Amino acid sequence: MTEMSLTTRPSLWRRVTAGYAILLEILLAACVGSLVIPVTLQVISRYTPFIPSYIWTEEMARFLFIWTIMIGAMVGVREALHFEVDVWPDLSRRAEAAVRILARLGILGLALVFVWAGIEFTQFAWNRTSELAELPLWLIHVAWPVAGVTWIVFAGEQIIDEARILFRAAQ
């Protein structure tokens, strides 16, 4: 292999996180697709006599909706899809990298809160079940620390990328 091909190939870590991002996108699509089923059953059972009113559909819809939001936020951090306000639109690439690092540090701070509080939140729900469908509540509560850890990984990669730009430009 040439030196050029060695430097352009992503590291094992980057390949793993890219695969994880693809898995998240698949899970997001599955959650949205699955969410249609209980919501449709709820609507049809309320307005027609054809389908009995199922109580479990409300809880299932809530579980799927929360996971959809959290997985969507994870993908959003990975793809840097959250909105940005251009206060200084004419920055150099180096200054822009510094601003992006500060923004990613904010994401890291929030991610740490999600991990810390999410672990307590999950422990609180560990031996509890939902009232109607009798689903284990930790399945919904664990979304918070999973999101936090994922944000740390993805925002950390972005900070490293921006730091390379920042310090390469300084040399």
Residues in the chain: 171
Structural domain spans, the chain: 3-170
What's the pLDDT at 82?
77
Contact 45, 53 (CB under 8 A): yes
What's the pLDDT at 57?
85
Lowest mean pLDDT among 2-6, 18-22, 148-152: 2-6
Model confidence pLDDT, tens digit, residues 76-96: 999 988 777 777 778 888 988
Report residue 2's pLDDT band, with 50, 70 and 90 as the boundaries: very low
Interatomic CA distance for residues 107 and 101, integer angstroms: 10
What's the pLDDT at 1?
46
CA dihedral in degrees (75, 81, 85, 90; nearest 10)? 130
- More reliable by pLDDT, 69 or 42: 69
pTM above 0.95, yes or no: no
